[in-house]
Amino acid sequence: MRKLAIAASLLGAAALSLPAMAADDLTAILKDPKQWGIQTGDYANTRYSKLNEITKENVKKLQVAWTFSTGVLRGHEGSPLVIGDIMYVHTPFPNNVFALDLNDNGRIIWTYQPKQDPSVIPVMCCDTVNRGLAYADGLIILHQADTTVVALDAKTGQKKWSVVNGDPKKGETNTATVLPVKDKIIVGISGGEFGVRGSVTAYSTKDGKLVWRGYSMGPDSDTLIDPVKTTELGKPVGENSSIKTWEGDQWKTGGGTTWGWYSYDPKLDLVYYGSGNPSTWNPKQRPGDNKWSMTVWARNPDTGAVKWVYQMTPHDEWDYDGINEMILTDQKIDGKEQPLLTHFDRNGFGYTLNRETGALLVAEKYDPAVNWATKVDMDKDSKTYGRPLVVAKYSTEQNGEDVNSQGICPAALGTKDQQPAAYSPETELFYVPTNHVCMDYEPFKVSYTAGQPYVGATLSMFPAPNSHGGMGNFIAWDGKKGKIVWSNKEQFSVWSGALATAGGVVFYGTLEGYLKAVDAKTGKELYKFKTPSGIIGNVMTYEHKGKQYVAILSGVGGWAGIGLAAGLANPTDGLGAVGGYAALSSYTALGGQLTVFALPSS
């Protein structure tokens, strides 16, 4: 590894403010709206800030305060961190890290530049993205594309420890951030399109030693499921609940990867996350429910023990990964205050569950175009309770034959992919970036070879028909009622994470490159500014020297922008996204820039 770090004595590092060791607890940092300590903003994944200098009345006055070029031209997901007077910025592969001095015009304090084998790039599914850094105990934690987890000293950039979480030669890579919880770092794995077996792993924050690992499928000893204590919809899952739903040893290459977001409830002491698609994409090659892919998980962070699970899309036929964020709120539903978990799944249904028990409370479509299932069965006395009722026409497994199933909504990239929603406790609404995209899906037989693509389907994508002609909406969602409150049409999918603030403003970015600000109650557009490249990053905010700033990474890419990012032209490349988003090249080009906004000084 090559690291450019300047000695603290030359930096004047004493003038920089990192939290003192006594106050170095991440929980305290997450309660301070002036800082942004993890990608999700808080453990509950609300992406809500109590900062209120920027309001719906004055947001139209926003100006660019400063910018920073990352020097990398691929998709920029995630967001910066701000700890004290230092901002930490990451890049896509090769996953460089910059520490910037907010007291000195963003001067570079230190840079970490890992040397990774470029052979990892073709093993990454959908661009070379990375969803960002996390802070814990004076360390900046980076999970590299090659699955190396690195702990860097937050002041100097010195590497304190590193550990390898997977093997790219088998198709195991990483695109996600990590979640520090107590004395552990929780990490996932990517590679569902290469037939890897998904897992979640806890490492010691102190030295990187492995504490536990829980797989998405396999025997109970591997999944850390207790056949009696672990429940789904209130019932014990039973012995080896995963293996019984796979044919033979298919679970060993079963996918269910964990490349999304993680949240944590300190009171219940549970970590929540979702698992992805089963491998292969050809459903007839893997009969059964394929548990526990496509599942919401509640695990104990100290042991990995599973309290409850809920599989949203049994026997997935459409690549509707379940990895999207779990947003934790406490609200009244059914007449009583409940600890809730809200999840906007790729399959087009917005779910609300009791996060303590796993009880299913709401499951409704959050895009009217969704047609692959009529509804989720909410009848507790039904044999199909909790399962989606699939429309035969849109199944991709047609009478045992490989046929091109047409007009399926949503497309494989879902009504929402990983781009995280936000929640405002003031409006009690969720703000959701969505895709308004459908697909044709044709499976084909594929054989497993370690490290080689294990997809088994050809896709084409297009805007949802008979609607506004665009490929996206930005919506406000009532999670208790399962209803859209308002919806803003967008020409392309909204692939940016949202931010809600106490100023009554919600921010998001567009694939053309606009940062937009809208009224949290009405959705009225209040401000927009076009950054140098398409936005697939997540909006964040912080305060420095009494002033509120809003920051966003721009740099088109990700699954939707893979054609631009990787220079692909065949319409079916990028798992169908290249053709679907061909028009994007008329509106933006590659980039890699941080843009920071603020109100003008009075």
Contacts 24+ apart (CB under 8 A), 463-467: 463/436, 463/437, 463/438, 464/367, 464/369, 464/409, 464/410, 464/436, 464/437, 464/438, 465/407, 465/438, 467/368, 467/369, 467/436
Does the annotation list 397 as a binding residue? no
DSSP string, 471-504: SEEEEEEETTTTEEEEEEEESS---SB-EEETTS
Using CA atoms, how far apart are residues 229 and 49, in angstroms rounded to an integer?
Answer: 37
DSSP string, 46-70: --EE---SS-TTTGGG-EEEEEEE-
Residue 510 contacts by C-beta under 8 Å, 6 or more apart in sequence?
A: 472, 490, 491, 492, 494, 496, 516, 534, 535
Does the annotation list 77 as a binding residue? yes
3 state DSSP class of 390: strand
Q: Compute CA 524 distance to the chain's CA centroid, rounded to the nearest angstrom.
A: 26
Which of these is catalytic: 42, 265, 316, 319? 319
3 state DSSP class of 529: strand
Check if 319 is active-site.
yes
Using CA atoms, how far apart are residues 454 and 153, in angstroms rounded to an integer?
Answer: 39
Q: Are 552 and 594 in contact (CB under 8 A)?
A: yes
> Distances from the Cα of 17 to the Cαs of 38, 165, 556, in angstroms?
18, 32, 33
Does the annotation list 91 as a binding residue? no
Nearest to 579 by CA among 444, 438, 473, 416: 438
Residue 260 contacts by C-beta under 8 Å, 6 or more apart in sequence?
A: 176, 188, 273, 274, 276, 321, 323, 324, 325, 418
Does the annotation list 205 as a binding residue? no
Does the annotation list 428 as a binding residue? no
Give the DSSP H or E segment for 116. Answer: none
Does the annotation list 319 as a binding residue? yes
Q: Which amino acid is at 248?
A: G
What does the radius of gyration of the chain's CA atoms come to, in whole angstroms? 22
Does the annotation list 277 as a binding residue? yes
Using CA atoms, how far apart are residues 497 and 478, in angstroms rounded to an integer?
Answer: 18
Q: Are 540 and 79 in contact (CB under 8 A)?
A: yes
Two tokens, residue 260: 């999304």
Enumerate the known binding-site residues: 77, 131, 175, 193, 257, 277, 319
- Cite the annotated binding site for Ca(2+) by residue number: 193, 277, 319
* Binding-site residue positions for pyrroloquinoline quinone: 77, 131, 175, 257
Task: Catalogue the active-site residues.
Answer: 319
